[in-house]
A and B are shown apart, each in its own frame.
Chain A
Amino acid sequence: MGPELGPGQTQLAAAVEPSSAASAERPARAKPLILSVDDEPCIGRVVQLKLQNAGLDVCRAMSGIEGLQKFIELRPDVLITDVKMPGMTGIELCKRCEEYRADWPFLIIVLTSQLDQETQAWLQERSKRTYLPKPFSPREVLRTVREYLDRRRQATADTEEGAPTVAGVRPGQTPDASKEQT
Chain B
Amino acid sequence: MHMLTHLRQLLQRIPFVSVQRSRLLNYIQVLIALIFLVAVTAICTSMVKNARSNAAKGVVNRGAIASSIISRAAARAVDQPTKEDAHAALERVIYDIRAEEGLEFAFVVGPSRRAIAHSDNRKKGQIMPLGLPSGDDSNGKEAWPEEGFYYTTYPAQASENAATGTGTIYEFVRTVNLSAKAKGQHGGNLELHVGFSLPGFWRFAGSSLKRAAPSLALAFLLLIVGNYLAAVFVRPLSTLREETAIASQAEDDWQLDVDATGEIAEIAENWNQMVGHFQTSYEQVVQTRRDMEVRNRVMLYEKKRTEAIVDSLSDGVMVTDAYGKVSFVNREAENLLGIERDGAIDRRPHEVIQDKNIIEFVQPFLDAAGSEGAGSGHRASTSGKKHAKRAVDLEVKRKNGTRHFHIAQFPVLDNTGKPGGAITTFRDITQTKLEERARKEFVSSVTHELRAPLTAIKSYVEMLIDDETRDRDLQREFFKTINEEADRLARLIDDMLNMSKIEVGNLVLNKSIVRTRKLIEDAVKGVRSAAKNKSIELEASITEDLPDVQADKDMVRVVVTNLLGNGIKYTQEGGKVFLNAELTTDPASAKGRRTIALTVEDNGPGIPEDELDKIFEKFYRGKTTAGQKVVGNGLGLALAREIATLHGGDIKVASTLGEGSKFTFLLPAAETSRKVS
| A, B from the same assembly | yes
- B535 near A7 with CB under 8 A, answer yes
Within 8 A of A (CB), among B124-164: none
- In the complex, A162 Cα to B535 Cα: how many Å? 51
Asked if A157 lies at the interface with its beta carbon under 8 angstroms from chain B, I say no
- B458 near A42 with CB under 8 A, answer no
Asked if A138 lies at the interface with its beta carbon under 8 angstroms from chain B, I say yes
Within 8 A of A (CB), among B623-674: 624, 626, 628-631
Asked if B259 lies at the interface with its beta carbon under 8 angstroms from chain A, I say no
Q: Which of B27-35, B286-294, B460-468 contacts A (4 or more CB under 8 A)?
A: B460-468
- In the complex, A40 Cα to B488 Cα: how many Å? 13
- B455 near A86 with CB under 8 A, answer no
List chain A residues, Cβ under 8 A from B447.
113-114
List chain B residues, Cβ under 8 A from A149.
none
- B624 near A86 with CB under 8 A, answer yes
Asked if A180 lies at the interface with its beta carbon under 8 angstroms from chain B, I say no
Asked if A27 lies at the interface with its beta carbon under 8 angstroms from chain B, I say no
- A138 near B459 with CB under 8 A, answer yes
- B481 near A42 with CB under 8 A, answer yes
Within 8 A of B (CB), among A4-60: 7-8, 10, 39-43, 45-47, 49-50, 53
- In the complex, A117 Cα to B674 Cα: how many Å? 57
Q: How far is the CB of B487 from chain A (nearest CB, A)?
A: 13
List chain B residues, Cβ under 8 A from A45.
481
Closest to B572 in A: A11
Q: How far is the CB of B471 from chain A (nearest CB, A)?
A: 10
Asked if B452 lies at the interface with its beta carbon under 8 angstroms from chain A, I say yes
Count of chain B residues with a beta carbon within 8 Å of a chain A beta carbon: 31
| Known interface pairs A42-B460, A139-B462; A7-B455 also in contact (CB < 8 Å) | no
- A139 near B485 with CB under 8 A, answer no
Count of chain A residues with a beta carbon within 8 Å of a chain B beta carbon: 26
| Known interface pairs A42-B481, A116-B444; A138-B462 also in contact (CB < 8 Å) | yes
List chain B residues, Cβ under 8 A from A114.
444, 447-448
Bitwise interface map of B from 257 to 279 toward A, beta carbon under 8 Å scored 1, else 0: 00000000000000000000000
Most A-side CB within 10 Å, residue of B474, B624, B626: B626
- B574 near A49 with CB under 8 A, answer no
- In the complex, A3 Cα to B249 Cα: how many Å? 119
- A40 near B452 with CB under 8 A, answer yes
Closest to B628 in A: A87
Closest to B627 in A: A87
| Known interface pairs A42-B485, A84-B631; A113-B459 also in contact (CB < 8 Å) | no
Q: Which of A96-104, A129-137, A169-177 contacts B (4 or more CB under 8 A)?
A: A129-137
- A137 near B459 with CB under 8 A, answer yes
Q: How far is the CB of B438 from chain A (nearest CB, A)?
A: 15
- B534 near A7 with CB under 8 A, answer yes
Closest to A41 in B: B533
Asked if B80 lies at the interface with its beta carbon under 8 angstroms from chain A, I say no
- A8 near B573 with CB under 8 A, answer yes
Partner of B573, one of A10, A138, A139: A10
- In the complex, A8 Cα to B573 Cα: how many Å? 7
Within 8 A of B (CB), among A81-132: 84, 86-87, 113-114, 116
Q: How far is the CB of A71 from chain B (nearest CB, A)?
A: 20
List chain B residues, Cβ under 8 A from A43.
452, 455-456, 459
- In the complex, A12 Cα to B576 Cα: how many Å? 21
Q: How far is the CB of B521 from chain A (nearest CB, A)?
A: 24
- A113 near B452 with CB under 8 A, answer yes
Q: How far is the CB of A44 from chain B (nearest CB, A)?
A: 10
List chain B residues, Cβ under 8 A from A8.
535, 573-574
- A137 near B535 with CB under 8 A, answer no
Partner of A138, one of B444, B463, B626: B463
- B469 near A49 with CB under 8 A, answer yes
Asked if B451 lies at the interface with its beta carbon under 8 angstroms from chain A, I say yes
Asked if B514 lies at the interface with its beta carbon under 8 angstroms from chain A, I say no
- In the complex, A10 Cα to B574 Cα: how many Å? 12
Within 8 A of A (CB), among B527-560: 533-535
- In the complex, A116 Cα to B469 Cα: how many Å? 35
- In the complex, A138 Cα to B444 Cα: how many Å? 24
Asked if B73 lies at the interface with its beta carbon under 8 angstroms from chain A, I say no
Q: How far is the CB of B560 from chain A (nearest CB, A)?
A: 23
- In the complex, A84 Cα to B460 Cα: how many Å? 20
9 contacts between A and B (CB under 8 A): A7-B533, A40-B456, A43-B456, A47-B459, A84-B448, A86-B628, A113-B448, A114-B444, A134-B451
Q: Chain B: residues with CB nearer than 8 A to chain A?
A: 444, 447-448, 451-452, 454-460, 462-463, 466, 468-469, 474, 481, 485, 533-535, 573-574, 624, 626, 628-631
Known contacts A43-B455, A49-B463, A138-B466, then 5 further A-B pairs from the complex at CB < 8 Å, ordered by chain A residue: A46-B460, A50-B463, A86-B629, A139-B462, A139-B466
